[in-house]
Each structure stands twice: as C-alpha cells, then as structure tokens.
C-alpha cells in the first residue's frame, strides 16, 4: 500500500479543509492549529470540551498501553485486521479512521499489517481521541498515522471523506460517523460480549450480569444497515497480578467497583480470563 498522510482534516470551528503550512494546519478562514513536537494536532476547541481534561487520564492510558503491549489481546487485533481487509474497497484513495483510538495499539497493529500489502491505492490513517494523554502516547507508536485530539461527536475531518471508521470499545456517535463517511462507507464496532472478563467481574461484584451489546436496529432509520456480526471468544491463559492491575485500571470496573470489590481484584495473584467480544459492521447507505 502507498501510505500517505491524511489530507482530509477539517477545521473544528468552521469545517473547512485544513492545509499544512510549515508546522501548522491552517484553514481558509485563518484558523491555525499547531502540530505538537510529538507530531499530533489538537483539534478540540474549548467549546467542544465538557470537562477540562476530557477522556482517559494519563494513568489509564499508561495502564492500557502496558496491558495491550503484553500481547494478551492480539487475537482481538488480528480479528479486527481480518474484518477490515474483508471490507476494504478497491479505490485509488482510502482513508481509515479510528474513533476513540486510545493509545493507538489497535490502529498501529492494523497499519503494520496493511503497509506491507501490495495494492497500489493511497491509504491514509486518522487516529482520533478526546484524551490528550492518549494521543500523546499514540504519537510515540507511529509517526505515519495522523493523530488528532478531537471528539467523535464532531470529528474534525471533511464530510464524506472516510471509507472505514473503527470504534473499538469506544464512545459511539453515529451522527458524527455518518457525516464523515463516504456513501457506502462502513463502521466497524468492537464491543464486549456477555461473558467478557467474567472471571474478573465475578471477583469484583456479588452478582454478575450477562449483557448483550446494544440493539442497533434503530440505526436503519438513520441510514445505516448491519452488514456483518462476528463473535470472538478466547481464554487469555494465566495472566499475572501486574497484568490484572493494568487491566482493572483501563476498564470502567475500577471506578464502578466497591472498595472491597476493587481490593479483591487488586490482590489476585493470577487469573485465566475469558475475552468475549462482538464485531459488527454497519454500512452507510
Ligand atoms: C475504553 S477506551 C478504548 C481505547 C481504544 N479504542 C482501545 O480499545 O484500546 C475509550 C476511549 O475513548 C475516548 N473517548 C471518550 N469520549 C470520547 C469522545 N467523545 N470522542 C473521542 N474519544 C473519546 C477515551 O479517551 C478513551 O481513550
């Protein structure tokens, strides 16, 4: 693949295309955004923020990075890559976006697989997250991906310019995704299935619920059709106390658990965990 830098970033203030001028991105109305020393761009204006430091904290980002780098979720990354390859169209110019990319583990994994493929189209990657800490970490993984601080509610990307949006355990905004997708473009969702991390949840909570991913049939009226649904279930094999603690910190369970529940999990010596995730592919009509 011919990997190129994304040229479809848009001004978060007026939606105009951003042009690269030295170390800044500039729109036709003169709004300017500095490219940070680490290589990312902050396209989250203060009026799009609901808190001072939105999204995952530095501690959560660091825990997620360390957990994912230990390789436990490689089967998830492999399956995601396989599904993307199935749904990539044959076009001269393709843009992939990871919406809520976190510290970039999955997008970097996909990038490294696709970069060695011999198709001749141009391929660009936009990794978007509302957390500056997450994007700063992501930028360390890969300098060829365009990493952006921004929100999925109003992705700072030109309307109708993206082929595939990934949303991996992320904040879903179908209005935002619809706007930036090309006609026929796809959203690939990765969400927890009913038995996801059940051994960890059984340690934390007195009663464990089995909840299915949300029903998305309402999206048909909003111009999306469900193309594909694939479950993935596997056991991690024994993971150690350090990995358990990183996992705990990167999930909402850390904040939802009672003090006793959290302590029980933090003190586990090891665990053989069930990973249960569901992949769904939706297409914009
Ligand atoms: C559970 S994490 C998943 C991160 C990554 N996709 C992964 O699986 O490793 C959710 C991510 O969504 C980000 N996030 C939350 N609200 C967001 C929004 N409105 N727009 C973009 N990202 C958001 C958080 O900062 C966090 O990095």
Q: What is the pLDDT of residues 51-84, one digit of tens each?
A: 888 999 999 999 999 999 999 999 999 999 999 9
Distances (CA, A) of 158 to 64, 180, 185, 195: 30, 6, 14, 38
* Alpha carbons within 13 A on the beta-carbon side of 139: 20
State in Å: Cα 28 to ligand 1 middle: 30
Give the DSSP letter of residue 263.
H
Task: Place 35 in a pLDDT band, splitting at 50, 70 and 90.
Answer: very high
The answer, yes or no, to whether residue 120 has pLDDT greater than 80, is: no
| CATH 3.40.50.150 for the 2-196+209-235+276-284 domain, yes or no | yes
State in Å: Cα 68 to ligand 1 middle: 15
The answer, yes or no, to whether residue 6 has pLDDT greater than 90, is: yes
Which residues does ligand 1 sit against, CB inside 6 Å?
55-56, 64, 100-102, 105-106, 128-131, 134, 151-153, 168-171
State in Å: Cα 108 to ligand 1 middle: 15
The answer, yes or no, to whether residue 158 has pLDDT greater than 90, is: yes
Closest CA to 31 of 136, 54, 39, 41: 41
Q: Nearest 5°: CA angle at 113, between 225 and 77?
A: 60
Q: What is the pLDDT at residue 130?
A: 98
Q: What is the pLDDT at residue 62?
A: 97
């Amino acid at each position: 693949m011919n990997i190129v830098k994304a040229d479809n970033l848009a001004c978060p203030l007026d939606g105009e295309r951003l042009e690269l001028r030295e170390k800044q991105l500039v729109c036709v109305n003169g709004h300017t955004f500095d490219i940070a020393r680490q290589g990312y761009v902050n396209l989250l204006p203060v009026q799009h923020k609901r808190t001072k430091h939105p999204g995952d904290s530095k501690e959560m980002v660091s825990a997620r990075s360390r957990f994912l780098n230990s390789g436990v979720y490689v089967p998830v990354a492999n399956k995601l890559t396989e599904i993307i390859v199935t749904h990539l169209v044959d076009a001269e110019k393709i843009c992939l976006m990871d919406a809520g990319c976190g510290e970039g583990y999955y997008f970097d994994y996909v990038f490294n697989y696709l970069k060695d493929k011999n198709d001749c189209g141009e391929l660009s990657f936009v990794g978007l997250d509302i957390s500056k800490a997450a994007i700063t970490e992501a930028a360390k993984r890969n300098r060829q991906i365009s990493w952006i601080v921004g929100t999925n509610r109003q992705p700072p990307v030109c309307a109708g310019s993206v082929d595939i949006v990934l949303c991996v355990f992320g904040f879903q905004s179908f209005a935002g995704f619809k706007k930036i997708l090309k006609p026929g473009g796809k959203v690939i969702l990765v969400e927890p299935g009913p038995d996801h991390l059940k051994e960890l949840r059984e340690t934390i909570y007195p009663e464990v619920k089995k909840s299915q991913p949300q029903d998305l049939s309402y999206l048909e009226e909003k111009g999306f059709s469900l193309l594909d649904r694939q479950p993935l279930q596997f056991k991690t094999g024994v993971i150690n106390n350090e990995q358990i603690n990183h996992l705990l910190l990167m999930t909402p369970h850390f904040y939802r658990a009672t003090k006793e529940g959290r302590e029980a999990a933090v003190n586990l010596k090891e665990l053989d965990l069930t990973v249960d995730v569901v992949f769904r592919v939706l297409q914009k009509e």
